[in-house]
Amino acid sequence: MEINRKNKLLIGLWIVALVLIGKLFYIQIIDKGYKEDASNNSMVYVDIYPPRGIIYDRNGEVLVGNTVCYDILVTPRDVKQFDTLALATALDTTVDFLRSRMKYYREYRSRIGYRTVTLLKQVPPSTYIKFAEQEYRFPGFRAQARSIREYPFNAGGNLLGYISEVDANYISKHPEYEAGDYVGRTGLEAAMEQQLKGEKGYHIFLRDARNRVQSAYAEGKEDKPAVPGKDIVSTIDAHLQQYGQRLMEGKVGSVVAIEPSTGEILAMVSSPGIDVDVLSDIGKHYAEISANPRKPMFNRTVMASYPPGSVFKLVNGLIGLQEGVLVPEDSYPCHGGYYYTATRKLGCHAHTSPLRFRDAIATSCNGYFCYVFKDILDNKKYSSTTEAFDVWRDYVTSFGFGNSLGSDFPSELGGNIPTSNYYNKIYGKNRWRFQTVISLSIGQGEIGATPLQIANLAAIMANRGYYIPPHIVKDSEGVKIDPKYHERVYTKVDTSHFETAVEGMYMAVNGGSTAAGTAYNASIPGLDVCGKTGTAQNPHGKDNSVFICFAPKDNPKIAVAAYVENAGFGATWALPVASLMLEKYLNGEISEKRKPMEERMLTTKFF
């Protein structure tokens, strides 16, 4: 009995021993996971930062490139006693700065451990060379190459955007990023971050029991190379963008140019804007820029909501034609404006009367379009003003107003087109009429539009009834844009009605009307410019100046919208800006006859 128990005990022990031996054999020989985990404890991973993709303009000019800089890194546990003055001289910094950093590292040595931290960021190559020559004197300190952005053209700071280092808050929302990574924050840099950023790589080094780096792990075979970001081809014409910025210098507002046939944005100027010289080191200038009362970081082209003013008369006229309450030969009187009560009048400037549709566009008659808008809302085929208004609003939104246009540019807002419910809440259901909302006749009141939407209206007129969603990135090798940027979006107004409105825009610039056109200063021999002026009331000061145009009249190549705040009449300030942009793009230079206009725009500054 005892023998059997003893044998059983021995057999049990042998079984346990065999299981343990088998487990050890599996762990040490077959399964490499534990070995790799053990190795990882003696490995040092050194990041390799990829260069961001280059941003080109439509003609191959580099808008945003890369240049090399260096971060100076330190592993505090590896630092030996060193000559502080010599290191400060090599790094172009101060002794006090180095002493304060080393004091910080000593105070938090348990938290830092054997980690490597950044001592200095974006050190220029000249400083790196001085340091590299003496690096052997400073154990624990080393340099790491990385690229920063450079800008060959002073063109488009707001549209290009800037990059900056990620912070803890950003990392918490985007765990794929780590401390030390940079990310696009605004503009194209933000919109195309996934394509531009590339993929980090790393070198693996072994360290000894004292955490000193000894050699490359596996002779570098396990290293991972960095993958550069993809290059982006923008739709922007660098020279046109730069010219637009010069014209808008000292003025508050925007100018946007679009190629109508493609929806490609040729220029996108927000003024005042960010100079590209500050983009590569935005952190250094951020406080100053943010404190500027004119808000240069606010991209007015897609974020500002303005009353479009008289350029909106084109929309109301086209809706009237589509609804059948207006035909091109209809004429209406205007004697200084439109009386919408016995004693109240919406005023107008002096011109001949009565006018037909084309003439009303050419002379920008307020009274005419009050009649048109009244007929739209009083249309007897609808049961109420509310129903007619809802139909009107559907037409307006089909022109791209009231909602984002769906561009590929970040932070694009949609402006505002009021709803019937809005007026019902203010005045009571069905207790308001045309007289209540008469200001909508001429693009005032509660209508708000971005400069991009106003430029898109110019493109719609150029295309006779459709637009392609405006966008700022072209198809290129490795980067394909959304198919929607190749598709036409038609308005709800039949294309057959647009030719009459376009003829009115042509007459506004080139004459042929029974009254002088408001845009005659936009005339450029040989280009058949079509345009429409606008003067939008501004409760905060002088009127805003608005102008849209396109050319040539047939097969248009460019559509432009300029919006200048607190500048007065559309023909005085916005018209020269937009028409000069148009001439520069199509002819490459400004004619001698129009040089005085150019000089006035380049030298006149409102601030």
Closest CA to 303 of 396, 399, 405: 405
- CB neighbour class for 570 (10 Å; exposed up to 12, middle 13-18, buried from 19): buried
- Cis status, amide bond into 124, omega within 30 of 0: no
The structure tokens listed for 347 are 């005023």
Residue 179 neighbours by CB distance under 10 Å: 11
Other C-beta atoms within 10 Å of 430: how many?
14
Dihedral angle at the C-alpha atoms of 554, 443, 306, 191, nearest 10 degrees?
-50
Where is 595: in which H helix or E strand? helix 595-603
- C-alpha 207/C-alpha 580 separation (Å) is 65
Q: Which residues of the chain have pLDDT under 70?
A: 1-6, 8, 24-42, 208-214, 513-516
User: By C-alpha distance, which of 357, 369, 607 is closest to 499?
Assistant: 357
What is the predicted pLDDT for the residue at 36? 47
Q: For residue 415, what is the DSSP state?
A: -
The one-letter code for the residue type at 282 is I
261 backbone dihedrals φ, ψ, rounded to 5°: -70, -20
DSSP 8-class letter at 406:
-
The answer to whether residues 405 and 412 touch, using CB atoms and an 8 Å cutoff, is yes
pLDDT score recorded for residue 5: 67
| DSSP codes, 55-109 | EE-TTS-EEEEEEEEEEEEE-GGG-----HHHHHHHTT--HHHHHHHHHHHHHTH
Rounded-to-integer distance, Cα 561 and Cα 304, Å:
14
Q: Supply the CATH classification number for the domain 47-202+227-233.
A: 3.90.1310.10
Report residue 208 CA to chain centroid gap. 50
Q: Determine the Cα–Cα distance for residues 189 and 408; give it in Å rounded to an integer.
A: 12
User: Mind listing the pLDDT tens digit for each residue in 359-381?
Assistant: 999 999 999 999 999 999 999 99
Instruction: Count other Cβ atoms within 10 Å, centred on residue 298.
Output: 14
- The reply to whether 47-202+227-233 and 238-278+298-603 are identical in fold is no
pLDDT at 26: 65
DSSP state letters, 187-244: HHHHHTHHHHS-B-EEEEEEE-TT--EEEEGGGGTT-B--BPPPPEEBS--HHHHHHH
How does DSSP classify residue 1? -
Instruction: Enumerate the domain spans of the chain.
Output: 47-202+227-233, 238-278+298-603
CA distance 254 to 565: 9
Q: 582, 549 in Cβ contact below 8 A?
A: yes
pLDDT (tens digit per residue) in 181-223: 999 999 999 999 999 999 999 989 887 655 566 678 888 888 9
Cα 560 to Cα 301: distance, rounded to the nearest angstrom = 12
DSSP string over 229-259: PPPEEBS--HHHHHHHHHHHTT--EEEEEEE
209 vs 215: CA distance, rounded Å: 13
Could you give phi then psi for residue 371, rounded to 5 degrees? -60, -45
Residue 510: burial class (beta carbons within 10 Å; 0-12, 13-18, 19+): buried
408: which residues sit within 8 A by CB, 6+ positions away?
191, 471, 472, 473, 481, 482, 485
Domain 238-278+298-603 has CATH 3.40.710.10: yes
- How much is the pLDDT for 465? 98
